Every structure is written in C-alpha cells, then in structure tokens.
Chain A
Amino acid sequence: SSELTQNPAVSVTLGQTVTITCQGDRLRSYHASWYQQKPGQAPLLVIHAKTNRPSGIPDRFSGSTSGYTASLTITGAQAEDEADYYCVSRDSSGNHLFGGGTKLTVL
C-alpha cells in the first residue's frame, strides 16, 4: 500500500510504556520521522531518521523500524505526552506522506 497506516487511538497508564506504530510499503526504503501535536499547536519533531532524537526531546522517546513498520515508543509516559502523533515518510520522487495520526491518551 502507498499509505501509512496508524492506529487512530492508543492509551497508556501514567508511567508505563506505549508503542505507536506506522505501517507502509515505503518504510522498507525510506525512514519515518515522528511528530507530536498538541491542541492548537504546530507539530513538533520528536524522532527523525528512524531513531534519532532532536535536542530537547526527552530520552523517553525512541524510534525503531522493522520491515514495513516504524514504531515510536514512549518509556514511562508522562501526562504532557498526551497528544496526537504522526509518522511521515517520503518516496523516490521527493513526495511526502503523513500517516493518519494516533491520539495518545495518558490515563
């Protein structure tokens, strides 16, 4: 599939670990990056180039890729991690594609 598929919603208990996944054919060839978006705000890059974390992003955020699936893991989720999370990748033509987004609820 040319799409990037994400679960629409995921929940996690405060302090526990949660993994958000993104599936798509293009992930076999191109890395995914991950963005966090809180209500009323622009998205924020949290993971790039498959596993790298920009400066200022807590180390509880990590990324991985296996085959057609990219994953964003939050180890020890905090209340402030409640947000929408989007994966995005590209193709050989320079076009980009976002996943449908995952709404993370921290209980």
Chain B
Amino acid sequence: QVTLRESGPALVKPTQTLTLTCTFSGFSLSISGMCVTWIRQSPGKALEWLARIDWDGEEHYNIFLKSRLTISKDTSRNQVVLTMTNMDPDDTATYYCAQLVVPSYTFDYWGQGILVTVSS
C-alpha cells in the first residue's frame, strides 16, 4: 500500500526558507521508474506543479520557480525534501507530495497535504 505524508512548518515568515519533507512507504525511489513530485494549491486557486525527482536522481523544476526550489531525496529513509527560498505571502498554499511512475507520468498517490501560511 502506497502512502505519502508531508511534514514541515505551518507558518513561515516572509523571506524565510521553507523546508518540507515527504515521507513515503509502499515503494522505493531506488527502483527504476519511480518518482516523487511536489504540487501546491493556493487557497481557492488551481493546482500548480513545483518539482519532481526521479529514481536516478534527475531533478525537474517549474521554470517559473526554478531559482527558488531545490528537491532532494534520501532513498534509505524513504524521504524527499523540497526547499523553497525567499518565501512570500503569495506562497501561502497547501503543499502536496505525490508518487509518479514512469512511463504513465500520472500522480497515482497523493499525500494529504500540508497548509503553509506565509505571514509576519
């Protein structure tokens, strides 16, 4: 059974760096074709894809946010970490991590999401 869970701060101040951790079970990121991705959703807004890390370590980023994002993985701990620098109130959103499998390229399993509020 595949599960994912996001963890991190619920509140960050403007200009701070956000660090979110996705802890998953039911699959291994060391297996060919496995990927983990981050997606966010501002209140009342559409889903926005942020970043993806693949089983081979390849990283992919939203081109508009690339300069602020870093995604990494710890295969032994079944964790993926996303950092986002220079947080702004517009970054207030629910952040989801999700499993993606190549070659279907679909987000088959999602975490419950974590609401991050950016406010001083």
Q: List residues of A whose CB falls within 8 A of some B CB.
A: 30-31, 33, 35, 37, 42-45, 48-49, 54, 86, 88, 90, 93-101
**A98 CA / B62 CA spacing, docked (Å):** 11
Note all chain B residues with C-beta closer than 8 A to A30. Answer: 105
With both beta carbons as reference points, the residue of chain B lying nearest to A6 in the complex is identified as B46
| A2 to chain B: closest residue by CB | B63
Q: Is B1 at the interface (CB under 8 A from chain A)?
A: no
B46 and A100 contacting across the interface, CB-CB below 8 Å: yes
Chain B residues contacting A54 (CB-CB under 8 Å) are 108
> Which residues of A sit under 8 angstroms from B105, Cβ to Cβ?
30-31, 33, 90, 96
Q: B106–A43 contact, CB under 8 A?
A: no
Q: Assuming A86-B46, A100-B46, is B61 touching A95 (CB within 8 A)?
A: yes
Q: State in angstroms the CA–CA spacing of A84 and B58 once bound together.
A: 31
Interface residues on B, range: 20 to 34
Task: Indicate if the CB atoms of A48 and B104 lie closer than 8 Å.
Answer: yes
- Chain B contact residues, CB within 8 Å of chain A: 37, 39, 46-49, 52, 54, 58, 60-63, 96, 104-108, 110-113
Residues of A within 8 A of B111 (CB): 42
Q: How far is the CB of B112 from chain A (nearest CB, A)?
A: 6
- CB within 8 A of B47: which of A31, A86, A93, A95? A86
Nearest-Cβ distance from residue A34 to partner chain B, whole angstroms:
9
Q: Please, which residue of chain B has its CB at the minimum distance from the CB of A100?
A: B46
Residues of B within 8 A of A45 (CB): 106-108
Interface core residue of B61, B62, B107 (most chain A CB under 10 Å):
B107
The docked-state distance in angstroms from the alpha carbon of A100 to that of B49 is 12
Q: How far is the CA of A24 from the CA of B92 in the complex (A)?
A: 28
**Which chain B residues border A44 with CB–CB below 8 Å?**
110
